[in-house]
Structure 1
């Protein structure tokens, strides 16, 4: 699988269970990223069309399937409007969600504690996902002084979203230029790897 597709997203939604939850903070940040990408009025219509009418509470958890439906709808709109391709739109959402999340006091404090060592920052970011989601397996592998591999199993957000997220994480590690590329990715985009080099 080279790029995320609507079909792959539909299969991930189908395979999600009621126990697969994501934090309200993550949902709110995804909505804000859609608003940045498509504008406030369109983002509001996307939310109205895909999300149950209830506010998000930052530390409450919600079914990830609801978030995936909202992201799918937004990425499809961006594609139909000629703004971005479907996988590019998901990547953009992942990047914006990460930018917003990294601006939180908790995230800034974690960065200060870890410092700017690329291996440490990438490993902590991979492990800290448990604060936001209840599903999937994540593994960080140091492959050498300037190489790392991030491995996901049963990751429902998919490869495009995480590629966007980790590109932003890499950009925010000062003093080094990190390249993030998608490695092996099996349909429907739940089992994949990202490779980081600097």
Structure 2
């Protein structure tokens, strides 16, 4: 009897199909604040280059996005569909690209006047920074919910419902909040980011859960503790 060998390989992730599925869940009533979209554009500019960011802005039909104006939520997914080929080339994988977008977005915010104020009010407590997620979400978009649940002194989870950006994006946001700390150096707020900050990351074991409309809420780990 002749033996037959089977080779199991994982099918490549179809990010275009995923993006289209997420876009189909958006309604005309779902909006995102210009401030949030401008943050995405700035992250794309940093990670994918000026030319890609320019194409994303041109796709909106506006010369610029006003921070306090509301725009269709589909724009954030249009940005991804335009920028992802270059992001994949530079970041290596879809999850890495999305996680980096999330990290850059929140680092940009924490470097702003409002972000520095938040760091000061948090008093170096990463739990307080994570607790600010739901309120920050409400001023950025008018759809979905984010709930922070602490299961113990150093363990908790962030539950995301009806969010259109992929899980890895939010994982990047939470990672930076767990790494963020205020240093009194001339009154400036700084971030302990990347390898330089791994040594003193807070021991907060968070888990993220994501559920799109019509789907069950799945909990997945966020690798943000030593």
| Superposition TM-score tier, normalisation by shorter sequence | 0.7 to 0.9
Q: Specify the alignment match of 2:202 in structure 1.
A: 177
Q: Deviations over 1:133-168 (max 9, x none)?
A: 110011110111111100011011221111111111
Name whichever of 86-95 and 188-197 sits farther off.
Answer: 188-197
1:52 counterpart (41, 58, 61): 61
What displacement does 1:187 show? 6.5
Distance verdict in 2 for CA 1:186–1:61, change over 3 Å: closer
**Which aligned pairs between 1:48-87 and structure 2 lie closer than 5 A?**
48=58, 50-79=59-88, 81=89, 83-87=91-95
Q: Distance in 1 between matches of 2:14 and 2:207?
A: 11
Maintained 8 Å contact 1:21/1:64:
yes
Root mean square deviation of aligned Cα: 2.8
The normalised TM-score by structure 1 is 0.83
1:166 counterpart (174, 179, 189): 174
Name whichever of 94-103 and 81-90 sits farther off.
Answer: 81-90
Q: Specify the alignment match of 1:8 in structure 2.
A: 18
Q: Specify the alignment match of 1:144 in structure 2.
A: 152
What displacement does 1:5 show? 3.1
Number of equivalent positions:
194
Maintained 8 Å contact 1:149/1:195:
no
Maintained 8 Å contact 2:145/2:161:
yes
Maintained 8 Å contact 2:161/2:210:
no
What displacement does 1:100 show? 0.8
The normalised TM-score by structure 2 is 0.74
Distance verdict in 2 for CA 1:131–1:93, change over 3 Å: same
Maintained 8 Å contact 2:163/2:211:
no
Q: Distance in 1 between matches of 2:171 and 2:111?
A: 19
Distance verdict in 2 for CA 1:82–1:120, change over 3 Å: closer
- State whether structure 2 residue 32 is matched by structure 1 residue 22: yes
1:92 counterpart (85, 97, 100): 100
Distance verdict in 2 for CA 1:132–1:193, change over 3 Å: farther
Distance verdict in 2 for CA 1:5–1:184, change over 3 Å: farther
Q: Which has the higher helix share?
A: 1
Query: Is there any run of 5+ residues in structure 2 with no aligned partner, and where?
Result: 1-12, 183-199
Q: Distance in 1 between matches of 2:203 and 2:120?
A: 19
Name whichever of 59-68 and 39-48 sits farther off.
Answer: 39-48
